[in-house]
Amino acid sequence: MPERIPSRDLGHLPTQQGTEFIVAFYRLFKGATLYNRKNFTIDRLAQECLQVINKLVNSEGHFSLKIVRDNFFFNNVRIQVNADQYTVLRGFLHEMRSRWIGELEFADEVNGEQLKDFVYLLCGLEENNESNYLYILKQLEYRGVEAIQVGKFESLKAEEIYIDSKHLKRESKEVYFRSIGLVKDVVEGVKNQNVLNVRKAKRLMQNAVNAIMQDDSALLGLANIKNYDEYTFNHSVNVAIYSIAIGQRIGIPKKYLSHLGMAGLFHDIGKVKIPKEVLIKPKKLSVEELVIMRSHPIFGAEILMKMKEWGELSTRMITAAFEHHLKYDLTGYPKLTRKRKPSLFSRIIALTDFYDSLVRPMIYNRLPYVSEKILGLMLERSGTDFDPALIKVFINMIGIFPIGTLVLLNTDDIGIVTQIQEDSELIDRPEVCLLYYSDGEYRKGKVVDLKERDEATGEYKRTVVKTLNPNEYNINVAEFFL
């Protein structure tokens, strides 16, 4: 693994969008506490804020900003606060909470007068009045402003929605295993009756997108656990999940994220046409066999052309199935006579497919089960095999020690990685659930954060020494993780 992991230059889109909105809106809000609405400063601030709002409405359809405890959620995705914007976000949080306003929603474009109306209404609210939001709603209605809505600051209800990670874990688990069953069904359908039915898969991928947008750690964890029985169908689901998670980080709109999931789920569908002896041959393939194997992208495209509805989704799926073994520098297969750059979806799937097929369980693979080696390998091929920008995003997402990895710490503890740090500088300092040995087996202990330092010495309290193979320790990671 190279010394330094490049920092995430594409950023976390909901954070960027949410922060941009808060900064512009809070400035206007502050201005409104100082000047009257005829002042030219207010005009300028309102125009600046308007630009941000209308840009967001145009790209997202509508957007909402919610406050849950001390956190902001932009379109239900938590905003990651960075040091530069910390004071502004704190200030805004304080102003909203003291007025019992917990949600702002923009459903359509607004004009300058409407925005000013709204901001002066907010400013003028009395503190600690729980029904402030009703007053605002009434006033907005009275003025004919339909595009703006506000909601009450409700800590309890909101906690149920966002903080209940157990619920999200359960849901993620269901999405994951149902997807595996579903891919199986679709494959059987193609094999036996030559029909392709993807209706259910579509809905499931929408669920996966929702879960990933709230918190991707549960689904990424499931994708990283490699000791399931049936690898083949797992692989498809893993590729879908990794791809959606990358897509979310580079700002692909929600609607297309589920398309991306579908393209990932069925990228290898062409393999149903490959004879089993070739498909699961443990030894090296002969030249003829390799030719057969390498026709699966073409078979895949052919099968997907049977999809009933033609449109954006089917086109994207066909393209991705056809292109997923093409490399960034246009080598790879199938051989094209007219060279053109693979589509964004294909480029994403090419790298998640590569990663997931190498991090397979040992029984399938000569390469050892360590993802840091594979990520290193991928980084070396950045720009030739893979899209360099996507590689950066992917490595930051997976971390050197992916969720679900069994690690040995310098304190001689062993533990399982449960969360990757958002800050790419801390990519080697994940959160780890310590394990302790009692009554003949390993049990879940406390969760520690490896970025914690000793107060007296300033040194890190715990550091990963190496990764361990869970099978050698008789540990079923899935059991601990779920």
Provide the residue count of the chain: 482
Choose between 346 and 467: whose C-beta lies nearer to Fe ion.
Answer: 346
Place of tokens 């997202």: 60
Q: Which two tokens stand for residue 271?
A: 């393999």
Burial bucket for residue 191 (CB in 10 Å: 0-12, 13-18, 19+) = exposed
Choose between 67 and 359: whose C-beta lies nearer to Fe ion.
Answer: 359
- Give me the least distance between CB of 293 and Fe ion, in Å please: 9
Choose between 49 and 239: whose C-beta lies nearer to Fe ion.
Answer: 239
Burial bucket for residue 304 (CB in 10 Å: 0-12, 13-18, 19+) = buried
Choose between 169 and 316: whose C-beta lies nearer to Fe ion.
Answer: 316
User: In the 8-state DSSP scheme, what is residue 386?
Assistant: B
- Give me the least distance between CB of 353 and Fe ion, in Å please: 4
**Rg value, the chain, Cα:** 25
Give dist(CA 359, CA 365) in Å, integer: 8
**Among 95, 353, 387, 431, interactor with Fe ion by CB under 5 A:** 353
Give dist(CA 383, CA 390) in Å, integer: 10
Choose between 32 and 374: whose C-beta lies nearer to Fe ion.
Answer: 374
Choose between 52 and 196: whose C-beta lies nearer to Fe ion.
Answer: 196
Q: Which stretch binds Fe ion (CB under 5 A): 70-78, 188-196, 345-353, 451-459?
A: 345-353
Choose between 321 and 417: whose C-beta lies nearer to Fe ion.
Answer: 321
- Give me the least distance between CB of 259 and Fe ion, in Å please: 18
- Give me the least distance between CB of 296 and Fe ion, in Å please: 6
Q: Which stretch binds Fe ion (CB under 5 A): 36-44, 187-195, 250-258, 352-360?
A: 352-360
Maximum Cα interatomic distance, the chain, rounded to a whole number of Å = 80
Q: Which two tokens stand for residue 213?
A: 């947008």
Which of 162, 126, 133, 130 has the alpha carbon at shortest distance from 149? Answer: 133
Residue 368's DSSP bridge partners are none
**Side-chain-side CA neighbours of residue 76 (13 Å):** 14
User: In the 8-state DSSP scheme, what is residue 126?
Assistant: P
Give dist(CA 131, CA 135) in Å, integer: 7
How many residues line the site for Fe ion (CB under 5 A)?
2
- Give me the least distance between CB of 146 and Fe ion, in Å please: 48
- Give me the least distance between CB of 236 and Fe ion, in Å please: 7
Q: Which stretch binds Fe ion (CB under 5 A): 155-163, 246-254, 347-355, 453-461?
A: 347-355
Give dist(CA 141, CA 57) in Å, integer: 20
Choose between 325 and 429: whose C-beta lies nearer to Fe ion.
Answer: 325
Q: Which stretch binds Fe ion (CB under 5 A): 301-309, 350-358, 401-409, 419-427?
A: 350-358
Check: CB of residue 378 under 8 Å from CB of residue 354.
yes
- Give me the least distance between CB of 402 and Fe ion, in Å please: 18
Contact between 323 and Fe ion per CB under 5 A: no
Interior CA angle at 372 toward 14 and 411, to 5°? 100
Choose between 95 and 353: whose C-beta lies nearer to Fe ion.
Answer: 353
- Give me the least distance between CB of 202 and Fe ion, in Å please: 20
Q: Pattern of binders to Fe ion over 255-274, x per CB under 5 A?
A: -------------x------
Place of tokens 């710490």: 409
- Give me the least distance between CB of 264 and Fe ion, in Å please: 9
- Give me the least distance between CB of 297 and Fe ion, in Å please: 7
- Interaction with Fe ion in 282-301: which residues (CB under 5 A)? none
Choose between 161 and 293: whose C-beta lies nearer to Fe ion.
Answer: 293
Check: CB of residue 212 under 8 Å from CB of residue 237.
no
Neighbours of 181 (CB within 10 A): 13
> Angle formed by the axes of helices 231-249 and 199-214, to 10°?
50
Residues that bind Fe ion in the complex, under the rule CB under 5 A: 268, 353
